[in-house]
């Protein structure tokens, strides 16, 4: 009886846990839609500035979240451009080079240490780096968009490394030996067989990293984000970002209108990250279809 009931009980508990998670997410989304859905119009993005002037920088936007949306997009693109190539190469190296060697052990130690660093500590690292540069090489060094990109790239780097290594290591044994059986070199087998077969798992790590970049507040709080700075002028200047705008409005709101704007900003951030997820899935699906037609 016990042997029959235990697996059934585990299945029921697993489904219950999944249902609770889904219900929690649905409740959160419905709450944001109710509180901020009615604000999803041009005034939330651009305030009273004409949209064309706001998009092309003709007039500064101080009553909308357009500068924060653009700053968040800059953060995502810049940090992802730094973290993803390095993470892919490190993950491929760890998966292909075996389990031994001092270099592998050093890389794994560094990745594990980065994975355990809280975001606020990463922000303090960036701030401390600026203080050190001021006292040594660059007296005019200051927190900036570039510094925030670097710190966020370091923060999400372990996601890309770990998922790339796991995706390649989890391939079926038949794929692992198909390259040599076809007369391909090690790197030809990696490029033409292993990476295409593992791209689903790799893409999952990339999506996780991009989502973490877009939503993190603690890192940017210490590395250059500010309120009402307008569109990012350069990589060395201050910037706005949606997570900080939510934090700032929720903490410093002066009335119901400001609080409602915080809910609208939170819903915008949710739609932004959701759009990135949908875009990644569409790209993945198109790659799968293309591979099917080619085969």
Whether the predicted pLDDT of 67 surpasses 60: yes
Angle at the Cα of 250 (from 247 to 256), degrees rounded to 5? 155
Question: Phi and psi at residue 234, in whole multiples of 5°?
Answer: -160, 175
- Exposure b/e, 117-142, CB count within 10 A at least 16 = b: eebeebbbbbbebbeeeeeeeeeebe
Which span out of 52-66, 122-136, 170-184, 268-282 was modeled with the highest average pLDDT?
Answer: 122-136
Share of the chain above pLDDT 90, in %: 33
Task: Give the architecture (CATH level 2) of 64-294.
Answer: Orthogonal Bundle (1.10)
The pLDDT of 253-282, averaged and rounded, is 85
The 10s digit of each residue's pLDDT in 125-176 is 999 999 998 888 888 888 999 999 999 999 999 999 999 999 888 888 877 7
Give the pLDDT band (50/70/90) at residue 1. very low
> Whole-model pTM above 0.85?
yes
Q: Which long-range contacts (CB under 8 A, 24 or more apart) does 275-284 make?
A: 276/76, 276/207, 276/210, 276/211, 276/214, 277/207, 277/211, 280/203, 280/206, 280/207, 280/210, 284/199, 284/200, 284/203
- Closest-CA residue to 277 (of 198, 195, 212, 217): 212
The 10s digit of each residue's pLDDT in 16-46 is 999 999 999 899 889 989 988 888 888 888 8
Whether the predicted pLDDT of 82 surpasses 90: yes
Q: Which two tokens stand for residue 91?
A: 């993950």
The 10s digit of each residue's pLDDT in 172-222 is 887 777 777 777 777 888 888 888 888 878 888 888 888 889 888 899 999
What pLDDT score does 17 carry?
93
The pLDDT of 92-99, averaged and rounded, is 80
| Chain centroid, CA 34 distance in Å | 26
Q: Which two tokens stand for residue 173?
A: 């044994």
The pLDDT of 99-117, averaged and rounded, is 85
């Amino acid at each position: 009886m016990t042997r029959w009931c235990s697996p059934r009980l585990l299945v029921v508990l697993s489904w219950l846990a999944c249902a609770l998670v889904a219900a929690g997410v649905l409740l959160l989304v419905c709450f944001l839609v109710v509180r901020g859905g009615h604000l999803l119009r041009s005034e939330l993005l651009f305030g009273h500035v004409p949209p064309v002037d706001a998009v092309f920088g003709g007039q500064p936007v101080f009553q909308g979240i357009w500068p924060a949306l653009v700053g968040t997009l800059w953060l995502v693109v810049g940090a992802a451009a730094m973290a993803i190539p390095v993470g892919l190469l490190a993950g491929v190296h760890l998966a292909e080079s075996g389990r031994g060697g001092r270099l592998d052990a050093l890389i794994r130690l560094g990745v594990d240490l980065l994975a355990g660093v809280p975001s606020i500590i990463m922000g303090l690292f960036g701030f401390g780096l600026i203080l050190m540069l001021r006292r040594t090489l660059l007296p005019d060094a200051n927190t900036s968009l570039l510094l925030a990109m670097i710190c966020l790239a370091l923060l999400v780097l372990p996601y890309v490394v770990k998922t790339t290594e796991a995706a390649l290591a989890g391939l079926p044994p038949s794929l692992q030996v198909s390259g040599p059986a076809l007369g391909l070199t090690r790197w030809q087998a990696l490029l033409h067989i292993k990476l295409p077969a593992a791209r689903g798992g790799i893409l999952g790590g990339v999506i996780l990293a991009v989502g973490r970049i877009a939503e993190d507040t603690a890192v940017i709080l210490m590395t250059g984000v500010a309120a009402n700075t307008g569109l990012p002028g350069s990589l060395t200047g201050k910037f706005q970002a949606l997570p900080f705008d939510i934090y700032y409005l929720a903490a410093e709101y002066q009335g119901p209108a400001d609080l409602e704007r915080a809910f609208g900003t939170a819903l915008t951030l949710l739609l932004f990250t959701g759009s990135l997820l949908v875009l990644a899935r569409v790209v993945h699906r198109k790659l799968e279809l293309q591979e099917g037609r080619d085969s």
